[in-house]
Amino acid sequence: MQYIKDQDNLNEKRILLRLDLNVPLKNGEITDQTRIDKILPIIKFLVQKKSKILIISHVGRPKGKVKNELSLRPICKNLEKKIDKKIKLIEENIFNLKKEDLFKDSSDQIIFLENIRFYKEEEQNDANFSKHLAKLADIFVNDAFSCSHRAHASVSKITEFLPSYAGIQLETEVKALKKVTSEIKKPISCIIGGSKISTKIGIIRNLIPRFDNIIIVGGMANNILKYKGIPIGKSIKEDNCDTIIDDIFKTAKTHSCKIIYPEDVVVGKSLKDKAQIKELDKVLDDDYILDIGPKTIDKIKDIIEISKTVLWNGPAGYFENPSFANGSYQIAKKIDEKNKNNLIYSIAGGGDTISVLNQINAIENFNFVSTAGGAFLEYLEGKELPGIKALN
C-alpha cells in the first residue's frame, strides 16, 4: 500500500478523493460531525500541496436514484465553513462531465460531485463508470476506510484506472486497528447493534471463535427473537435469516462463546412514540421494538463488568428518539465508567455509535474509536476489505 502522505509532486495534480461523508442527517441537519472532522487533515494536506481536489462520497442508500433528501449539499456547506474555502457542488450527470469542464476558474480548488450512489453503476462496481471517473483526474486517493468493505466503483474498481493511494485517515485507522487487535486481553466481549442486519448477521458467526461473549442488540436482535419464536410485531427484521442464526448458535456452542440477546424490550407504536417496557411474550402485532429493556441492560452491564476488552458497534435502539436511547446510553455509561478507572480496553466503531458516545460525552475515554461500522467488523473478522485489497 502506498500512502499519499509520502508523495511529492502533487502540485496542480487532480486528486479524485473518495471520502465517507455518510453522516447522520435529520431534516437536512447534520447530527454528528465526527466523520467530517476526521477528513480535515487530508483536505488540508492536499490544499497545502496545491492539488485540485475532486471529492466523491455517498450518503445513505439511494439505490441508484436521485433523492433530494440525500443530497451532499448540507455536507458540502458544512465542510466549506470548516475549512473556510469555497467548494463547488456539481449536480450535473457525471456521464456528461469532461475533464475540461472542471476546475475552469483558477480559484477552483475543491469540487464535490453529488452523491455517488445516485448512480446504480457505483454499487455494481461498474468498470465503465470507474473509467469515466478516472478520466476526470490524475490520481485516486481512498480516505474512506469506513466504506472500504464495499466493492463499489469509487472504492474498488477505480484503482484499476488510476495510480491509487491510501489517505491519511484510512492509514491511521488501519494501523490503529492492526495494533489494537493484536493486543487484545480476554475475556473479550463484542456488542453488535444497529439496523444494518444483512451486513452484520453473517459477520457474527465468523467473530464467534475470537470472542467470549457476543451481545446482540438493535435491529439484529429482532431476528434472533423471531428465530426463538418470540413475537416481534412490526419491528425491522431481515428475511431468510434462520439458517445463519442456526449456525450462529451451533458455532457458539462449539467455541464456548456466549450469545446474549434481549430478555425484555422497549416498544412504541411508531418511531415518534413514547417508550413502553415489555416482557418478551407481551409484544403486540402493532408494536415496534425500539430499545432493550432494563433486565437486558443489567445483564449487559454484568458482562461488561467482567470483560477485559470490549468492542462495540451499533446502537441498542432507535436512539434518534430520546425515548429509545436509554439502552445505548446505559451501555456507553457502563463502558465509560470502566474506562475512567482503566479497567477495560475499549474500542468503538461506526457513525451511529460515535453519535451515541458524543451525546453523553463518553467518547474521550475510549482507547480507540473508528469511524467505520461495517468495515470495522469485517476487519475484526480478519477479512481483507475490497477497498484495501485494491490499494495493495
- Distance CA(140)–CA(4), nearest Å, equals 9
Show the cell assigned to 149: 468493505
- The nearer residue to Mg ion, 62 or 351, going by C-beta atoms, is 351
Judged by CB under 6 A, which of 167, 219, 374, 387 binds ligand 3PG?
A: 374
Judged by CB under 6 A, which of 148, 199, 223, 355 binds ligand 3PG?
A: 199
Q: Of Mg ion, ligand 3PG, none, which one sits near residue 150, judging by CB under 5 to 8 A according to partner kind?
A: ligand 3PG
3-state SS assignment for residue 368: strand
Judged by CB under 6 A, which of 19, 22, 261, 316 binds ligand 3PG?
A: 22
- The nearer residue to ligand 3PG, 122 or 291, going by C-beta atoms, is 122
Binding mask 320-359 for ligand 3PG (x = CB under 6 A): -------------------------------x--------
Of the candidates 190, 196, 294, 176, the one whose C-alpha atom is nearest the C-alpha of residue 237 is: 196
CB 5 within 8 A of CB 171: yes
193 lies in the site for ligand 3PG, by CB under 6 A: no
373 lies in the site for ligand 3PG, by CB under 6 A: yes
- The nearer residue to ligand 3PG, 204 or 280, going by C-beta atoms, is 204
Percentages helix, strand, coil for the chain (3-state, rounded to 5) are 45, 15, 40
- Distance CA(169)–CA(166), nearest Å, equals 8
- Distance CA(194)–CA(145), nearest Å, equals 19
Judged by CB under 6 A, which of 5, 44, 50, 61 binds ligand 3PG?
A: 61
- Distance CA(74)–CA(390), nearest Å, equals 30
- The nearer residue to ligand 3PG, 7 or 195, going by C-beta atoms, is 195
Judged by CB under 5 A, which of 167, 219, 262, 351 binds Mg ion?
A: 351
C-alpha radius of gyration, the chain, whole number: 22
- Distance CA(40)–CA(371), nearest Å, equals 14
- Distance CA(93)–CA(134), nearest Å, equals 15
Segment lying near Mg ion (by CB under 5 A), choices 35-43, 78-86, 224-232, 344-352: 344-352
Contacts with ligand 3PG, residue ranges (CB under 6 A): 20, 22, 61, 146-147, 150, 196, 199, 351, 373-374
